[in-house]
Every structure is written in C-alpha cells, then in structure tokens.
Structure 1
Amino acid sequence: MVSDEAVLSGLEEIEVAAELIYQSMPATPQYSWPLLNERASKIAGAVEVWVKHENHTPVGAFKVRGGLVYMDWLRRERPEVKTVVSATRGNHGQSMAFAGRQLGLRVVIVVPLGNSPEKNRAMRCLGAELVEFGHDFQEASEHAASLKEKFGWHRVPSFDLLLVKGVSTYAWEMFTACPELDTFYVPIGMGSGSCGAIAARNALGLKTKVIGVVSSHAPAYALSFAAGHVREHESATRIADGVACRQPDPTALEILKAGLDRIVMVDDEAVKEAMRAYFVDTHNVAEGAGAVGLAALLQDRPSGGARVGTVLCGGNVDSDVFARVLGDQCLPK
C-alpha cells in the first residue's frame, strides 16, 4: 500500500507551488454565505458552511493550478518538449492550454464526441488544438495515449503527483484562511482535487475529515474505495460530467484509501438542487461537478459537524444546461 505521507507534497513544497501559481493568478476567495448557512441549518441544526471559490480562477476551475505547476516542471526538466497531448471533458484541457500558452507549447487536447460546446470553445480560445474522439472520457484518454505513441508528443496524464502538488494549493489557502473545519467535502473526478485536499490537510497537521464525493451515476471510485482495489464502472451521470470517471487511477486510489474519511454518493437531482442553491444563495454559477461537494454536504447533515466546508471547483456549465437546471425550480426551499 502507498501511504499519502510517502507520496504527497509537504508544507514547504505546497508553499513554493503557491508562489509559482501566484505569478499567473491571485488566491481565490473563501466565504461563509449567510443564506447557505441558513439552508444547511434548516436540515439538521446550526452549521457554519465555508465555500472555496475555485470558479474564480482564470479558467473558471481549480485545474489551472495543477497545469501551471506541471508545465513549469516540463519547461525546466524537459525543454526539448514542443507539443503536449492530453484528454479531458473540459477543465483539465483549459488548464493545459492556459499554462501551455504562457510557455509557447503546442497543446493538443482529445475530448469525447458530443463534449460541451462551450468548454470546447474555451479550450480553442486559449490556443488548444482539439481532437474529438470516443464516446466517453476513457476512450478519449486512450486515444491521447495513441497519439503520444504515434507522434512522440509528451502525454500529460489526467492524474499526476505534479498536478496534485499544484491543486493542493487551493485547499492550503482554504485551511489556512478558515477556522478549523470539522469536515471538508471534495468531488472526485480523477482524484487530483481530493488528493490535493488530503495533502494540504496533512501538511498543516489538521484533524479535518476529508470526505470524497462521487456521482451515484458514476460510482467507480466509490466502488474501488470499498473494494480496496480498482473497479471500473460505466458512467451515466447527465449533469456532473467532470466526475464521470469510468476507470480510477491506481495511485490516486491508494492516496484516497489512506487519507479519506469516507466517500459519499449523490444523484443527479441532488446535484441540480445544489447548483440552484449556489445561484440562489450566493449568486455563483456552478457546473455539475462543481456542485457535487455541496450536494453531499447538504445530504450528509448532521454527520459533517458544526463547521464544514466544500469547494465550488468549477463554474463552466453550458448556458442552455444551466438554464434548464434553473428552470426546473429556482426558488429557495
């Protein structure tokens, strides 16, 4: 078994990563919103809810932090690399494009057929070349690997400890700015956000419980966590595509097994309700995967404790999708 202490960054490494990231973007805010506190408290007693707003990064999602750290390493350690290739549903691709453009690298991104049109446009606007292939993220990822072999391009994985190092800075900011949280709810896509939260929690020596969150329609990580080994499972979520993982990463799973308190599953209806709650209570837009943490926090009351937190990890939802979600029911309960 690989322990989180053996593979994750320590406090000094996270702080160095943060200084690098701050050359391209400021720290994002974290707020405790009165209306969100009221909503959660009505479910099961008084609670203070803190939200980390990673929807406020230059690409609207937390992934950019990992991209900046990874590309900086590539510039220093692999200066011969001119083209990178990766796969994504959107936010990882924007991260690669944003960081790659700063270093003058060609960025090729593979997305599944039928991927979000607005995320595709955003990646192209940042300079990425898009290849559409496959019916889900896994097939797109496998095609990215084949392009790497065919053309000799550098493959940027969807999960890597360098990406985790960069991403861990969001949780480091959150944990150092907020009163100590009882629990912190983090979505699990491929695992960088949740592993980053574990790294920051451990580096700061906190007792905060990190709870992973997956869609009940994409339960691969939850099933793997329970079984103790990787288990594949098809994804059928219609709203939280950012956590639509079919095949968990083995290294990420080992870190999560060592560092998570548990995993909570939420269905698409709960995610939609959380998207509406963010908009009604905070006037922030959350994509499906960005609202997964709040959905779990509300569902898990009162098990989380009296002071809880989550991350709005992305706000890149297509406008027509968001309009339908709000149209379902836009009034606070």
Structure 2
Amino acid sequence: MTHLLPTHAEIEQAAKAVYAAMPATPQYAWPLLSEALGAEAWVKHENHTPTGAFKIRGGLVYLQNLAQRPRQQQVRGVISATRGNHGQSVGFAARRYGIPATIVVPQGNSREKNAAMRALGVELVEFGQEFQESREHAALLAQQQQLHMIPSFHRDLVSGVATYWMELLRAQPDLDVLFVPIGQGSGVCAAAAARRALNVRTRIIGVVSAHALAYKLSFDGRSKIESPVTTVIADGMACRVPDEASLEVILSEVDEVIAVSDDEVAAAMKLYFTATHNVAEGAGAAALAAAMQIRHRLQGQRIGLTLSGGNVDHDMFAQILSRPGQEAQLADVNQQRRVA
C-alpha cells in the first residue's frame, strides 16, 4: 500500500514545516525501563513537544499546506473532532497561520485538554458521548458554516508525524521492534512510512486498548470491524470505527496488534513516572504497556517505545500514582539484578 504512504521526499519536505516551529525531540534509553523489560528500551519523547504530544507535527504540515493554497482556494476556517491532542495540534498550527479553528469534543472530555485547546484560541464545541459522534457533528458544522473539515487521518498528517519516527530510526537504526499506539492510525502509518523511507527491517507492533478493539478486530479479521469503546484511561485510542485508509496501511505494513487493558496502561503510566519521572497520558503509555505484556518475548532485544503524549488530567494521574504495586515490581527487578 505504498501509494497511501508519504515518500521519503514528502517526509523531508514536511520536516521543514515541523522544525520551523519546534526542535526535534529526544530519545533516551532509561536504565530502569530496560531492567523492567529485560531489553534495551529506547523511548521517543513526544511528550516534549510544544503541545505535549506527537500530533502537533501533522497539524503543522497540514495547516501550512492549507495556508499556501492560491487565494481563490483559501478557507474561512477549519474544523475537526478530537479527544484532545489532535485538537491542540490544529489549534497550535491554525494560530501560527492565522486561520480560525473550531474543535468538537465529546461531552465529559478531559477538562485540562479542553482548557489547553481554548488557550490556543480555538472555538470549542462539546457534542456527543464519544469521538465518532463528535466527528459526525463536526462534519455537519463544516457543511453548515462552510468550514474546511480536517480529518483525523490524512497524508499530510502522516507526513508530519513520520518526522519523529525518522528521528528515532536515524538515531537507532537497528531497533528490533517498535511499539506504536493506534488511535485513528496516523502514528502507526507514519512509523511504517519512516521504516520504508529509511529501508530498515524493524518490526512494527500496533497497540490498541482492550476496551476499544476496532483496529485489532479489523486486523485479525482482515476487514473493517466496528467495536464499542469503554476505556476510561486511554482516550487517545478510543476509536469505535476504523479509518479505511489507515486500516489498509495497517493490514499491509503492521506485523502484529496487541490489546492492553486500562489496568496495564495505568501500571505503565506509573512505571514511566517512577523510572523516568516523565508524565504519560493513557495512550502515551500504551506502547510501554504492550512491551511489559510480552516482555518474555523481548529478552535481549533493542526496542523502540513512543511516549506519544503526556496530557493527562491531574486528578486521574494522582489516582494512578497512588495505586500500589509498581514499587514492588521495580524492587523485584533490582533484587534480581543483585542476585545475578
């Protein structure tokens, strides 16, 4: 499905738009994480972007291309639906290019993500009980108000997001496997695009929430399958209906898809903090949760994890940090090391 993926040249062009607004993010191999996994684990810190998540890269590329259209094709404003990080990406980039932005979020969405989007100047609309309802409402508003609808998955978005995978794979070209959370697919498709562009052999494992199984069911069944969403932690992976274009790429390029529970995600969020003192949101910790789930298969390997976002509400994070268990796990790792 190479026709759906941006080329090496497209990704390099996208990088110009990204790096005009932000620097490359770091990748570190944290000793406690590597000990916990029994593998050399490299973490790509997309929680260090100006919006605290990887999505900003795609927004910068998409909005730049939109702003550079001929005058007769200029838009009066843009609209999109999100649970938060995509909306912050659109808001950040729209403000940079002077384009009004409206964002639709589900009712009961993260208060702090909502506040962050409003601070970027977007008009925030709360509608629906879950992302799919918000997306359908955004499409209706786009038609009614003559706004440009920004999709959750688009070649320009993938080109921008692929810049961070290029950074990681150039720095660590011999990784055995990448773990990538799947929301609407831009992150995992971008990983596939970067792998192809750099001609590396790294396997790609997609990660979904066990409480939002649409992409895993679709991957296993080799066709589009909808599934209800009940996750309360991993809102960045709260997808009920797979995107057809991203699913086509996933079926062609991804080696495996793993489902992680909210409990596993919470444990990974806590492990990130205790081992690295970085804050991870639910979807941001999903890659680590998946690696912990199959760590018996990873012994001695070199793996890449994306800490794809750190935008978690204070109250939720405080509850997660207060959960018992993680200190004992790290103590067990250290005890095993002392015995060895």
TM-score by length of 1: 0.96
SS in 2 for 1:275: helix
Task: Report how far residue 179 of structure 1 moved.
Answer: 4.2
Cα distance in 1 between the residues matched to 2:218 and 2:184: 13
Match status 1:303 vs 2:300? no
Q: How many residues align?
A: 325
Q: Tell me what 2:15 maps to.
A: 18
SS in 2 for 1:180: coil
SS in 1 for 2:159: helix
Cα distance in 2 between the residues matched to 1:223 and 1:78: 42
Cα distance in 1 between the residues matched to 2:248 and 2:86: 22
SS in 2 for 1:77: coil
Cα distance in 1 between the residues matched to 2:83 and 2:279: 18
Kept after mapping to 1: 8 A contact 2:4/2:245: no
Match of 1:331 among 324, 327, 330: 327
Q: Tell me what 1:312 maps to.
A: 307
Kept after mapping to 1: 8 A contact 2:76/2:146: no
Match of 1:70 among 62, 73, 76: 62
Deviations 1:59-99 (A, max 9, x none): 00000000000001101126421210000000000000000
Cα distance in 1 between the residues matched to 2:65 and 2:328: 46
Q: Tell me what 1:30 maps to.
A: 27
Q: Tell me what 1:44 maps to.
A: none
Cα distance in 1 between the residues matched to 2:212 and 2:258: 12
Cα distance in 2 between the residues matched to 1:35 and 1:78: 52
Match of 1:56 among 48, 57, 72: 48
Q: Tell me what 1:168 maps to.
A: 162
What amino acid is the match of 1:50? W
SS in 1 for 2:17: helix
Kept after mapping to 1: 8 A contact 2:213/2:227: yes
Q: Percent identity?
A: 54
RMSD of aligned C-alpha atoms? 1.0
Kept after mapping to 2: 8 A contact 1:18/1:169: yes
Task: Report how far residue 20 of structure 1 moved.
Answer: 1.6
Alignment of 1:60-209 (within 5 A): 60-77=52-69, 79=71, 80-209=74-203
SS in 2 for 1:316: coil
Cα distance in 1 between the residues matched to 2:67 and 2:233: 36
Gaps of 5+ in 2: 330-340
Cα distance in 2 between the residues matched to 1:254 and 1:178: 27
SS in 1 for 2:322: helix
What amino acid is the match of 2:102? V
Gaps of 5+ in 1: 42-46
TM-score by length of 2: 0.94
CA distance 1:304–1:251, change in 2 (3 Å): farther
Cα distance in 1 between the residues matched to 2:70 and 2:97: 12
Kept after mapping to 2: 8 A contact 1:168/1:200: yes
Q: Tell me what 1:249 maps to.
A: 243
Cα distance in 2 between the residues matched to 1:207 and 1:249: 26
SS in 2 for 1:59: coil
Deviations 1:278-299 (A, max 9, x none): 0000000000010000000111
Q: Tell me what 1:276 maps to.
A: 270
Which deviates more, 225-234 or 77-86? Answer: 77-86
Cα distance in 1 between the residues matched to 2:232 and 2:37: 25
Cα distance in 2 between the residues matched to 1:143 and 1:58: 28
Deviations 1:118-172 (A, max 9, x none): 0000000011110000000000000000001111100000111110110011111
Match of 2:284 among 274, 283, 290: 290
Match of 1:265 among 259, 265, 271: 259
Task: Report how far residue 310 of structure 1 moved.
Answer: 1.0
